[in-house]
Amino acid sequence: MKTGDRGRVDLDSEECKGCGLCVEACPPKVLALASHLNRYGYHPATYSGEGCTGCGICYFACPEPGAIVVWRLKAEARPVAQAA
Amino acid sequence: MPEFAVLHEKPHSFYSLYERKGELQHQTHYCPGCGHGIVHKLVARAIDELGIQNRAILVSPVGCSVFAYYYFDVGNVQVAHGRAPAVATGVKRAHPESIVISYQGDGDLAAIGSAEILHAANRGENITVFFVNNAIYGMTGGQMAPTTLVGQKSTTSPFGRNVWNEGSPIKVCELLNALDAPVYLERVALGSNKQIMAAARAVRRALEVQMRGQGFSLIEVLSPCPTIWKKDPVEAQHWVAEELVKTFPLGVVRDRTKDAPVRPASAAPPALDKIPGILGLEQDDPGPTVGGPAAREPVELAVKVAGFGGQGVLLLGEVLAEAGLASGLQVSWLPSYGPEMRSGTSNCHVRIATRPIASPLVLRPNVLLAMNEPSLRKFLPTVEPHGLVIYNGAACPADCLRPDVTLIAAPFAQLADGLGGARAANIAMLGALLEAAPVPFESQVPNVLRKLVRSPKWLEIDLAALARGRQAARQEVAS
Amino acid sequence: MRRELIKGNEAIVKAAILGGCRAFYGYPITPASEIAEAAALYMPQAGGVFLQAESEVAAINMIYGAASAGVRSMTASSGPGVSLMQEGFSYLAGSELPCVVADIMRGGPGLGNIAPEQGDYHQVVKCGGHGNYRTLVLAPDSVQEMCDLTLLAFDLADTYRNPVVVLADGYIGQMMEPVAFPDAAVMPSAPAWAVTGTAETRRNLVTSIYLEPDVLEAHVRKLEAKYRRAEQDAVRFESRETQDADIVLVGYGIVGRVLKEVVEAARAEGMRVGLLRPISLYPFPTEEIRRLARHAQAFAVVEMSTGQMLDDVRLALEGRRPIEFYSRVGGNVPATDAVLGFVRDALLKHVRAPEVIHA
């Protein structure tokens, strides 16, 4: 993970059906469908590992209830928040 | 190392593992790219945010979402095709504190369940309806829906929907907007990030309407069905945003969330010991016991009262039965009913007896009270030998006589009219019966009239008619 | 106990409320409308719900909702409306939901007429809905039984978690007789399986869908076992003068009343005639009919249909004894004299010592 990313995304490759809606939805375009297949035969969505802004849009675009968890940098960890 | 906190995760209102689902219990049964999963997520999140998981009851009828209860960790009721709004009505009225959600597809809501949704909306039921419109029957394999677009092909519109054959797509929000009661109607879509976020807000607002007790709300969600549409999920999403919205414009169709009144709460139920009183079964007086003094002499009255509707035929019978009952006798009262109640002939069968009454039907009366000539002609032949016939007319027609029965004819209607109302002719005839037949319950008749006749004016006329009828019978018997 | 002179249709509602029913959803139809009218009057005062639904289909599904929510609930209708409710009966039975339905039968088929008939036997007793289910059916022959059997129906519905139908006809519904109601009202607590919108019931599920064949088979077998248990425990009938009867009359509802008069008249003429009146139509008093067949030489079924209950009597007898059948339909009720003549003929035809008729 690149330092300075505001967000992080965890994708459950076994829950993912490879629909690609999160890839389409992701504003910074840091998600992609993997070239490998998961055990149900889908190309699961994967995170490139850097550039997530923590916007959460992929979470709402994803039709599987628990396939995506979005994390965001804690407020106190941010320099601005510390100053305040 | 920077610290991260969870921003979005699986809502708590979903089960962590879908144990009700037979296999693959960690993922839904929906096809890749199906909109149901997104709508489910929006609903579950709103339930979490509003803190209503324990109160929520999800009603899921037939459609791809028939198995919503696999996923939602809330009370679940699975129901027949299209009937969710009716079932939700029964649930919500039983438990007004619960939050009842009807989750329906387009075939379910707009076709087979069109009556149920219309009337639930019209009653302003305090429920929330999530209506997933993907313009096709998904579960059953792609048949035409009431919301299928004009020209859209389906397995049952293979040449495309034709308005001359199948009509135009039904716009549910606009249709319901013609009704007074709905509080909040909005059409949203899952065609883009922006649309999905607007849908999330609408879902939450609709539940808030119910929580405030304002009444009916419906959110129509234009939703992709990639499998049946034969599009990949991204194409399907674009088709929602580009094509579906042309027929089904997005936006708020009705919003009375600011000024809609809160439905009045129902009053606290009465204590259980008040119920008999509410039903009019209060035991003021114990009443007569069966087989009491009046029953010493055997009684076996089989009375037929017959006349036109509106002549008080049924009331006359009821007074007789009530008086018999008040004297501790067995009684039954059987009306002819139906169209006769409104016009034409009317008759009733009354039995009053010392012994238990086998059949309440009186096919061979021993007393006939004929309030008009057709009734006399019809029933005179059925009267038992030695029976009593009382006829409302100055004299029986010459061809309508039987030597083996006692016939009393008097113009009871005219007599009653002279007392203030021809409608009291029935009671005048009752007076004649009391005079002509030794019935052991005659002393009860005035009490019964006081009970059954609510108007003081008519009670006075009836009591006078009772006496006048007796007098007429005395004269008639004497003559 | 004071006795109230009351209409059958009204007695049902008072009994239901005394028995803890607090939800009535219905659609008006002659000759059952007084039930909805009485429910509209009393249910709100008793703290319950009355709602006139948009159709019988909606009404039975509202009942499904109220029953799911653990409330004793009922609806009422007549032939055409009951036809529309068949979908609901199947779902209610499949989801094991208790409720009570009063069917005040009228003439059919189609619009038929509004006079009394017994043509709903097949659709109610044999079940007109889809799937392997039964409804328990009780057939009152008096207004007192409209009260008593309605109360019983709610208990049976809860015991078996199944719809129970009170099957009466236009005459039983419309007539007035004295009724002794119970002194006190009861209110059973909501069953543990109900979905009530609370933390305790959050995991409860009401459903009739079982996708896996083995799972659905297990569910259907469970229902079947329940019905077998009802066949053991819930049979009800009234017997009159059957002990020495050469011929046993079988009839229910208003016909049962006519047959009581027929038995009295026949006995007065010296004919050894008895009456078996099924009170529970499902479960049917099959064993009792077989028991009576040991002594009776023939059976005579009287019905206001062209022979619907007749099938159950045939199945009970399995050819052991001959059956004669007398029927009136279209709103006509068998007349005592006519049935008496039919019984005389049946005796002459089947009873080995016809001289008994003149004894």
pLDDT per residue over C207-265, tens digit each?
A: 999 999 999 999 999 999 999 999 999 999 999 999 999 999 999 999 999 999 999 99
Nearest CA in chain C to B14: C203
Extract the tokens encoding C194: 């109900």
Q: Could you say which of B5, B33, B34 has the minimum Cβ distance to residue A74? A: B5
Rounded to 5 degrees, φ, ψ at B64 are -60, -25
Contact B75 C202 (CB under 8 A): yes
Please, which residues 7-66 of chain C have a Cβ atom closer than 8 Å to chain B?
14, 17-18, 22-23, 25, 30-31, 42, 45-49, 51, 53-55, 57-59, 61-66
User: What are the CB-based long-range contacts (under 8 Å, 24+) for A34-39?
Assistant: A38/A13, A38/A14, A39/A14
CATH number of the domain to which A32 belongs:
3.30.70.20
Contact A60 B196 (CB under 8 A): yes
Domain ranges of chain B: 35-255, 296-478
For the domain bounded by C4-233, which CATH number is listed? Answer: 3.40.50.970
* A39 inside domain: yes
Please, which residues 116-135 of chain C have a Cβ atom closer than 8 Å to chain B?
none
Mean per-residue pLDDT, C47-61 = 98
Alpha-carbon gap, residue C223 to C125, rounded angstroms: 16
Alpha-carbon gap, residue B439 to C357, rounded angstroms: 36
Contact A7 B237 (CB under 8 A): no
Instruction: Please answer whether residues B115 and C54 qualify as being in contact, where contact means their C-beta atoms are separated by less than 8 angstroms.
Output: yes
Torsion angle in degrees (nearest 10) through CA of B207, B213, B217, B221 = 0
How would residue B265 be classed by pLDDT, with cut points 50, 70 and 90? confident
Query: Is chain A in touch with chain C: ≥3 Cβ pairs within 8 A?
Result: no
- Domain with A72, as residue range(s), is 7-83
Query: For residue C31, is the peptide bond before it cis, meaning its omega torsion is within 30 degrees of 0?
Result: yes
Instruction: Please answer whether residues B177 and B122 qualify as being in contact, where contact means their C-beta atoms are separated by less than 8 angstroms.
Output: no
Contacts of B183 (CB under 8 A, 6+ apart): B124, B209, B214, B215, B216, B217, B254, B255, B256, B257, B260
Please name the CATH architecture into which domain B296-478 falls: 3-Layer(aba) Sandwich (3.40)
Query: For residue C283, is the peptide bond before it cis, meaning its omega torsion is within 30 degrees of 0?
Result: yes
Mean per-residue pLDDT, B120-149 = 97
Nearest CA in chain A to B224: A63
* A70 inside domain: yes
**Which residues make beta-bridge pairs with C335?**
none
* A35 inside domain: yes
Q: What is the pLDDT of residue C166?
A: 98
* End-to-end alpha carbon distance in chain A: 26
B436-445, B457-466, C217-226: the lowest-pLDDT one:
B436-445
Contact B86 C62 (CB under 8 A): yes
Q: State the total domains in chain A.
A: 1
Chains in contact with A, where contact requires at least 3 CB pairs less than 8 Å apart: B
pLDDT (tens digit per residue) in C275-296: 999 999 999 999 999 999 999 9
Domain ranges of chain C: 4-233, 237-358
Mean pLDDT taken over chain A: 89
Contact C197 B54 (CB under 8 A): yes
Asked if the model's pLDDT at residue A2 lies above 60, the reply is no
How would residue B342 be classed by pLDDT, with cut points 50, 70 and 90? low
How would residue B391 be classed by pLDDT, with cut points 50, 70 and 90? very high
Alpha-carbon gap, residue C164 to C93, rounded angstroms: 10
Q: What is the pLDDT of residue B251?
A: 98
Alpha-carbon gap, residue C98 to C77, rounded angstroms: 17
Instruction: Please answer whether residues A64 and A16 qualify as being in contact, where contact means their C-beta atoms are separated by less than 8 angstroms.
Output: yes
Asked if the model's pLDDT at residue C359 lies above 60, the reply is no
Asked if the model's pLDDT at residue B292 lies above 90, the reply is no
Extract the tokens encoding C10: 């009204």
| Partners of residue C63 in chain B, C-beta under 8 Å | 90
Extract the tokens encoding B75: 């009370």
Mean pLDDT taken over chain B: 94
Superfamily of B35-255 according to CATH: Thiamin diphosphate (ThDP)-binding fold, Pyr/PP domains (3.40.50.970)
Alpha-carbon gap, residue B386 to A29, rounded angstroms: 105
Alpha-carbon gap, residue C310 to B237, rounded angstroms: 61
Asked if the model's pLDDT at residue C180 lies above 60, the reply is yes
The secondary structure of residue C357, as a DSSP letter, is G
Helix H, strand E, coil C: the string for B382-434 is HCCCCCEEEEECCCCCCCCCCCCCEEEEECHHHHHHHHCCHHHHHHHHHHHHH
Three-state secondary-structure class, residue B367: strand
How would residue B290 be classed by pLDDT, with cut points 50, 70 and 90? low
| Partners of residue B43 in chain A, C-beta under 8 Å | none
Percent of chain C with pLDDT over 90: 97
* End-to-end alpha carbon distance in chain C: 43
| C237-358 fold | Rossmann fold (3.40.50)
The pairing of strands B56-60 and C205-206 is unpaired
B114-123 vs B84-94: helix axis angle to the nearest 10?
Answer: 30
Q: What is the pLDDT of residue B184?
A: 98
Asked if the model's pLDDT at residue A82 lies above 50, the reply is no
Neighbours of C257 (CB within 10 A): 25
Q: What is the pLDDT of residue C352?
A: 67
Asked if the model's pLDDT at residue B102 lies above 50, the reply is yes
Sign of torsion over alpha carbons B148, B153, B158, B160: positive
Q: What is the pLDDT of residue A84?
A: 35
Contact A68 B14 (CB under 8 A): no
pLDDT (tens digit per residue) in A11-35: 999 899 999 999 999 999 999 999 9
Alpha-carbon gap, residue C256 to C276, rounded angstroms: 8
| Partners of residue B269 in chain C, C-beta under 8 Å | 22, 46-48
Sheet holding C247-250, edge to edge: C237-240, C273-278, C247-250, C298-303, C323-327
Query: For residue C109, is the peptide bond before it cis, meaning its omega torsion is within 30 degrees of 0?
Result: yes
Mean per-residue pLDDT, C38-50 = 98
Sign of torsion over alpha carbons C220, C223, C228, C231: negative
Q: Tell me the shortest Cα–Cα distance from B77 to chain A, in angstroms.
A: 21
pLDDT (tens digit per residue) in C304-358: 999 999 999 999 999 999 999 999 999 999 999 999 999 999 999 998 664 555 4
Q: Could you say which of B30, B35, B193 has the minimum Cβ distance to residue A25? A: B193
| Partners of residue C4 in chain B, C-beta under 8 Å | 280-281
Extract the tokens encoding B348: 């009733």
Contact C58 B116 (CB under 8 A): yes
Asked if the model's pLDDT at residue A55 lies above 80, the reply is yes
Please, which residues 189-228 of chain C have a Cβ atom closer than 8 Å to chain B?
195-199, 201-209, 211-212
B331-340, B425-434, C28-37, C269-278: the lowest-pLDDT one:
B331-340
Residue C357 touches partner B, C-beta closer than 8 Å: no
Q: What is the pLDDT of residue B285?
A: 59
Q: Could you say which of A8, A18, A63 has the minimum Cβ distance to residue B37? A: A63
Q: Could you say which of A27, A68, A73 has the minimum Cβ distance to residue B4? A: A73
| Partners of residue C114 in chain B, C-beta under 8 Å | 337-339
Mean per-residue pLDDT, C120-127 = 98
Mean per-residue pLDDT, B338-350 = 72
Q: Tell me the shortest Cα–Cα distance from C117 to chain B, in angstroms.
A: 14
The secondary structure of residue B295, as a DSSP letter, is G
Extract the tokens encoding B273: 């010991």
Q: Tell me the shortest Cα–Cα distance from B120 to chain C, in angstroms.
A: 9
ipTM confidence score: 0.96
pLDDT (tens digit per residue) in B17-66: 999 998 889 999 999 999 999 999 999 999 999 999 999 999 999 999 99
CB pairs A-B closer than 8 Å: 109
Residue B108 touches partner C, C-beta closer than 8 Å: no
Query: Is chain C in touch with chain B: ≥3 Cβ pairs within 8 A?
Result: yes
Asked if the model's pLDDT at residue B289 lies above 60, the reply is no
Contact A14 B27 (CB under 8 A): yes
Residue B76 touches partner C, C-beta closer than 8 Å: yes
Nearest CA in chain C to B332: C177
The secondary structure of residue B187, as a DSSP letter, is E
pLDDT (tens digit per residue) in C330-343: 999 999 999 999 99
Asked if the model's pLDDT at residue B288 lies above 70, the reply is no
Contact B87 C68 (CB under 8 A): yes
Alpha-carbon gap, residue B445 to B165, rounded angstroms: 68
Q: How far is CA B45 from the centre of its chain?
A: 36
Contact B90 C4 (CB under 8 A): no
**Which residues make beta-bridge pairs with C73?**
C23
Q: Could you say which of B91, B318, B337 has the minimum Cβ distance to residue C170? A: B337
Extract the tokens encoding A46: 């994967």
**For chain B, what's the residue count?**
479
**Which residues make beta-bridge pairs with C23?**
C49, C73
Nearest CA in chain C to B287: C2
Asked if the model's pLDDT at residue C4 lies above 60, the reply is yes
Q: Could you say which of A21, A72, A74 has the minimum Cβ distance to residue B33? A: A21
Element (H, E) at C310: helix C309-317
Asked if the model's pLDDT at residue B431 lies above 90, the reply is yes
Asked if the model's pLDDT at residue A83 lies above 90, the reply is no
Contacts of A32 (CB under 8 A, 6+ apart): A23, A45, A46, A48
Q: What is the pLDDT of residue B340?
A: 46
Neighbours of B282 (CB within 10 A): 11
Same topology between domain B35-255 and domain B296-478: no
Q: What is the pLDDT of residue A4?
A: 82
